[in-house]
Structure 1
Amino acid sequence: MDSTVVSFHEVTPEIVQITMEDRIHKNTFSKSLIDGLTQAFQRIEDHPHYKCVILTGYDSYFASGGTQTGLLSIFEGKEQFTDTNIYRMSLDCKIPVISAMQGHAIGGGFAMALFADFVIFSRESIYTTNFMKYGFTPGMGATMILPKKLGFSLAEEMLINAANYRGAELEKRGLPFPVVPRAEVMGRALELAHQIAEKPRFSLITLKEHLVRSIREELAMVTEQELLMHEKTFHRPEVKERIHDLFGK
């Protein structure tokens, strides 16, 4: 690993911890973060003994979605969110992945977290799918993975309203995932990782492949539909204005 913003740590010979730590960009999807995650997951793909991955962030940030520059490039038609697969790396990983969301998860960063096999929330952190805040429809598979993981009613509210939700509030709304104090997120993730690592690697890979096959197949169709919605919604003048005026607020 030659990344300065993504660290790769072998907790045990069977458990890997990937930490996103782009402090300059607050874990938005900068090129350095994307490159670092790509390297990390490729290293996992090439290793014959790993059984579980913990994906986490730094301090109060897990992942913050697209950069302002990246959003403006999509507005200008220079990029599409499918140009990289950062949002689905956990889904494509052949071994189980735990999203240890010790910090805020915003937009595509929240979608990315939900594509993991296990998700742990912190009570203090903010979780939001804020695409519509900027005036464009959601991407990165969010329109599929939120309903699947959170239930349709809560997902529809989060996607349309684009509001901020603390983990504690989502817990009261019946979130089907552990919600613990920020200081306990990594401890819970490590406990779970050790439990997973007790199982045979071949069986873990086989079962995950079976469980997520339909999600992987459906995602291709959903992202195509999201791109079509982007063609209709992303290139309007008010979107550019909102990206300039509201980004980071």
Structure 2
Amino acid sequence: MHGPPVDYREIAPSVVQITMQDQEHKNTFSDQLITGLQDAFAKVAADERCKAVVLTGYGNYFASGGTKESLLLIQERRISFTDADIYGLALDCPVPVIAAMQGHGIGGGFAMGMFADFVILSQESIYTTNFMKYGFTPGMGATLILPRKLGMSLAGEMLLSAKTYYGHELKERGVPFPVLPRADVLHHALELAGTLAEKPRVSLVTLKSHLVSELRAELPRYIEREVAMHEKTFHQPEVRALITSHYTGG
């Protein structure tokens, strides 16, 4: 691993870049990555100078979802995905968050990016909500945020089929986000962050709170329903077999 799993950097006095760079685990949700993300967003919330956050990954990876070990622990009823609330970090952040998804967004990693206020995808990267590949129903708030951001038709297809899509394929399907060459994603995000930083912070915080108020109110109910679905689906013996034999992570 090169450097800390999560790098926190002030790009400008009012702009923070949070980079997930856990190369050892290919940005799966390792304990180190989770703790790093929680600490980084806590710093943002405490920094009254910050007006915008750019959340990105390294190389070919944005975020790769749960580790094999954590999925098996959920299957054994030893933990729940709700034990570490990283899915709501961007939504709960007081200032706008830009998900510069320059690399692959897989499972919960894709869902986490969708909770950002702005999303930028890469033409060359793959995006998937692959929960059902392993036989269990989606978590991480995916059943709420995907229909809201992508529309019911595409979201339903992604969630039910667990298919993998290249960014350029999603662009052809009409996703309402910029889909750019990988090399351009972060630059575009930083330009957007600079535009946001020109506004008064109080106005940004007030408007974001208004725009996401319904999502913030609805998310706990959706998480409760996703946990209930997990009780029905996650603990099947075939799910354990599928995780054991088919898990590819990042």
Q: Structures share a fold, TM > 0.5? A: yes
Name the counterpart of 2:204: 204
Letter matched to residue 162 of structure 2: A
Distance 1:246 1:126 in 2: 18
Letter matched to residue 146 of structure 1: L
Alignment RMSD: 0.8
Name the counterpart of 2:27: 27
Query: Which runs of at least 4 in structure 1 moved beyond 6 Å after TM superposition?
Result: none
Distance 2:187 2:4 in 1: 25
Unaligned stretches of 5+ in structure 1?
A: none
Letter matched to residue 237 of structure 1: P
Using the aligned pairs only, state the percent identity.
Answer: 60
Q: Deviations over 1:83-133 (max 9, x none)?
A: 111111000000000000000000000000000000000000000000000
Q: Deviations over 1:131-188 (max 9, x none)?
A: 0000000001000100000000000000000010000000000010000000000111
Letter matched to residue 142 of structure 2: A
Distance 1:217 1:73 in 2: 29
Matched residue SS, 1:24: helix
Matched residue SS, 1:175: coil
Name the counterpart of 1:175: 175
Matched residue SS, 1:50: coil
Distance 2:43 2:141 in 1: 24
Name the counterpart of 1:111: 111
Distance 1:6 1:224 in 2: 29
Counting only pairs closer than 5 Å after superposition, residues 1-249 of structure 1 correspond to structure 2 as: 4-248=4-248
For these two proteins, the number of residue pairs brought into alignment is 247
| TM-score calculated relative to the size of structure 1 | 0.98
Matched residue SS, 1:16: strand
